[in-house]
Structure 1
Amino acid sequence: MPVSAGFDVKFIEAIAYALNRNVVLPDEYYDRMTPIQRQQAVSIAGLGQTEQIKHVMGLVNDQLDSGGTFADFQKAVKDGDIDVNLPQHRLDNIFRTNIQGAYGRGRWYQQQQNKAERPYLMRDGINDSRQRPEHRELDGIIRPIDDPFWQTHTAPDAFRCRCVMRSLTKEQAEAKGITTDINLPDVEPQNGFGGTPAQYTNRMTKLINDKIAELAITYYKQSDAILAARQRIEAAITVMLAQPIPELAVLIDEAKELLEEQGDDA
């Protein structure tokens, strides 16, 4: 999933979600965890050691942070110190599923911030020969952003799923046509996919919120990106950080002072 260079690739909500999932062994993930628990965890079938999974997922997260491609990820796995004997198609699945999943969860956090102005979601897929038949049925569905339907059918909701969720204003939703209850397709959700962060435990939500704040401060203080990022970072700090702690408050003040100094020098 190539991403253009620049500050906008620093998708702090997506990165925060990715960094806070628990790494577990495949037997626990596939045999004992509930669908909601799976959304708060990550595993890789075929890898029997926790360190191997952490290594691979760390490389995925590096590419998420830098905007790297699958080729960058594949090279990093090959050059890494930990042996990971996975074929290319498995690595491709791991990379794309986890990148798309993190972006999807990141979008959800952003959409929740803006739901007063854009209170509807539309599921939008890529209608080509690779699209799953069940995802074609779900394509174009429009429901309120907090509708229970999205607790099981939020995209991406399968391995390598390319569907996304788009937020709409009330006027846009009505113009396109809000999906009625009787017109909702009977598509079974996949285990471990399709949920939203609203179902997470309070602990998981707080971890993500704290990480968003830390990442926001880091990017805020990058001199080459401050001006372009100001509104987004301030919104992330204000809205997503549930309970500021003194150390973070100090860093926020320092970052704002840095911005003001740069503004005076411009």
Structure 2
Amino acid sequence: MAGVDLSYAIGLEPAEAVRYFESKGYQLGFRWQDVAAEAHARAFTVAGVMKVDVLQDIRAVLADSLKSGKTFEQFKDDLIPTLKKKGWFGHGDVVDDGTGEIQGRRLTPRRLDTIFRTNMQSSYMAGRFATQMAQVDTRPWWEYVAILDNRTRPAHAALHGCVYRYDDPFWAVFYPPCGYRCRCRVRTRPFGYRDSDNPPTSAGRLEEIEQPVGRDGKTQPAIAYKSPITGKRVLPDPGFGFNPGLAWQRPFTPPPMGTLPRSVPSGASVPLPRPARIARSSMPAGLPESAYADAFLRTFGANANHPVTFNDATGEAMPINAWLFRDHANQPVSGAARPDAQIVAQAINEPDEIWLSWAQLDNQWTLRRRYLKTFETEAGEWGVAIADFGKNGWVSSSSTFPAETGTDDSRAAYLDTLRGQFLRYRKRDD
């Protein structure tokens, strides 16, 4: 792609593409199949990269490349030194030296090329979609245009010339790109291009099928289009089949569990952790909030004047300091430090489970980490402590229940309501 100016080649204002790209949060997935297609449009992802800081590095360089119109060679030159420094460039898996956990798959020049092309094209196409949507009053007909040469995939060539209204369900699935390195685009047509009283429609031509993904024989649901010319079914390449612009513009709603990467088999339950034995679940009520904050900090060897950097059970670095309980004006935040501060700190320091979840804040998806710890007091109470962290802040809570008011099944069901969407860590029972 050296020397190619995508904004000129595709013909739209780069500002829309940049706005789409920068709207993305972060999505973790070990394989591309682990991340649902529409999630690609709403969250930045690189298959095989399970470290948020590495995703941030890649995203930052891609954003700069998009804004500046850089070539792939320039993108590589900017990113590879950082990847090498962090041990993420080359072949093979990245393994944590301390835990032996596989954190992802290293990035090769070929994979960087795929990352660059796919993200650039999806961004530009989302921008193009926004521009075309602004013109639907005068140009409501959209035509699928493929580059008809010896490199065009048959499925993409079969879609060439399809004309439907902008709001036809066809475009929710087949708006380009329809695969890696797809060169297709959509051309708008004026109001009188088709008969509005008898408009062409994809009704009856779209059907759900099972599409093979990967080499292990697994399938996933996908939408196929039955060509009126050949009668054959065509569908986007695996991992596509979504409209990046439509998914971006749609009002943000939390994605269903089925669209996020799974760390446990579908339908499987996570066992109830063995609770930690503690003297009591909270400190005495009525103490100054500074006493609760100090107790929290002491768990990590910190105090109000001595901050520390704590590495959690997955190796994620967390700053532990008095600012956790203060606002930007360095004033204590009322209610931030509570009597349960010690057990909340223990949930972070020695969690039973760490979950990743998505939350929508300020019209952007943000990735949050949730720490869970179950405990049992000397009085026989059973409880759960939670700490939930994201770039926009953190919250915590704890709940306790009398020993006689619960079974293992009811406790497991309650814990399921508190868990996140991706199990990042689980403490091994001794």
| TM-score normalised by length of structure 1 | 0.66
Please report how far the alpha carbon of residue 172 of structure 1 lies from its aligned counterpart in structure 2 after TM superposition: 4.3
Is the counterpart of residue 129 in structure 1 residue 169 in structure 2? no
Q: Give a deviation string over 1:186-244, Cα, whole Å, max 9, x none.
A: 32234344325434552389848xxxxxxxxxxxxxxxxxxxxxxxxxxxxxxxxxxxx
- Matched position secondary structure for 1:84: coil
Q: Give a deviation string over 1:111-163, Cα, whole Å, max 9, x none.
A: 11111111111111212222111111112211111111111111112112111
Corresponding residue for residue 229 of structure 1: none
Is the counterpart of residue 202 in structure 1 residue 254 in structure 2? no
Corresponding residue for residue 88 of structure 2: 84
- C-alpha separation in 1, matches of 2:13 and 2:160: 28
Please report how far the alpha carbon of residue 48 of structure 1 lies from its aligned counterpart in structure 2 after TM superposition: 3.0
Tell me which amino acid in the other structure corresponds to 2:233. D
Please report how far the alpha carbon of residue 5 of structure 1 lies from its aligned counterpart in structure 2 after TM superposition: 9.2
* Aligned partner (choices 8, 11, 25) of residue 22 of structure 1: 25
Q: Does the CA-based 8 Å contact 1:11-1:106 persist in structure 2?
A: yes
Distance 1:12 1:141, change over 3 A: same
Q: Does the CA-based 8 Å contact 1:155-1:165 persist in structure 2?
A: yes
Distance 1:10 1:145, change over 3 A: closer
Distance 1:158 1:73, change over 3 A: same
Q: Does the CA-based 8 Å contact 2:168-2:201 persist in structure 1?
A: no
- Matched position secondary structure for 1:96: helix
* Aligned partner (choices 52, 55, 73) of residue 54 of structure 2: 52
Q: Which runs of 5+ in 1 are unaligned?
A: 209-266
Q: Does the CA-based 8 Å contact 1:60-1:95 persist in structure 2?
A: yes
* Between structures 1 and 2, the one with greater helix share: 1
Q: Does the CA-based 8 Å contact 1:3-1:9 persist in structure 2?
A: no
- Matched position secondary structure for 1:126: coil
Bigger CA drift: 99-108 or 158-167? Answer: 158-167
Q: Does the CA-based 8 Å contact 1:44-1:53 persist in structure 2?
A: yes
- C-alpha separation in 2, matches of 1:197 and 1:9: 14
Q: Give a deviation string over 1:25-55, Cα, whole Å, max 9, x none.
A: 1148633x54333321222123231211221
* Aligned partner (choices 186, 198, 218) of residue 233 of structure 2: 186
Q: Does the CA-based 8 Å contact 1:141-1:179 persist in structure 2?
A: no
- C-alpha separation in 2, matches of 1:65 and 1:163: 23
Tell me which amino acid in the other structure corresponds to 1:19. E
- Matched position secondary structure for 1:203: coil
Tell me which amino acid in the other structure corresponds to 1:25. L
Tell me which amino acid in the other structure corresponds to 1:202. P
- Matched position secondary structure for 1:123: strand
Corresponding residue for residue 160 of structure 1: 181
Please report how far the alpha carbon of residue 167 of structure 1 lies from its aligned counterpart in structure 2 after TM superposition: 1.3
Tell me which amino acid in the other structure corresponds to 2:146. G
Report matched runs for 1:216-227 at 5 Å. none
Q: How many residues align?
A: 203
Q: Does the CA-based 8 Å contact 2:140-2:165 persist in structure 1?
A: yes
- C-alpha separation in 1, matches of 2:247 and 2:137: 20
Corresponding residue for residue 379 of structure 2: none
Is the counterpart of residue 35 in structure 1 residue 33 in structure 2? no
Tell me which amino acid in the other structure corresponds to 1:77. L
- C-alpha separation in 2, matches of 1:96 and 1:167: 24
- C-alpha separation in 2, matches of 1:199 and 1:4: 22
| TM-score normalised by length of structure 2 | 0.42
- Matched position secondary structure for 2:128: helix
Q: Give a deviation string over 1:84-106, Cα, whole Å, max 9, x none.
A: 31222111111011100000000
Report matched runs for 1:223-234 at 5 Å. none
Distance 1:141 1:71, change over 3 A: same
- Matched position secondary structure for 1:160: coil
Moved over 4 A (4+): 178-182
- C-alpha separation in 2, matches of 1:141 and 1:188: 14
Higher relative contact order (CA 8 A, sep 6+): 1
- Matched position secondary structure for 2:252: helix
Q: Which runs of 5+ in 2 are unaligned?
A: 90-106, 206-227, 254-359, 365-430
Distance 1:92 1:75, change over 3 A: same
Tell me which amino acid in the other structure corresponds to 2:180. F
Please report how far the alpha carbon of residue 180 of structure 1 lies from its aligned counterpart in structure 2 after TM superposition: 5.6
Is the counterpart of residue 3 in structure 1 residue 10 in structure 2? no
Distance 1:199 1:4, change over 3 A: closer
Q: Does the CA-based 8 Å contact 1:9-1:67 persist in structure 2?
A: no
CA root-mean-square deviation: 3.0
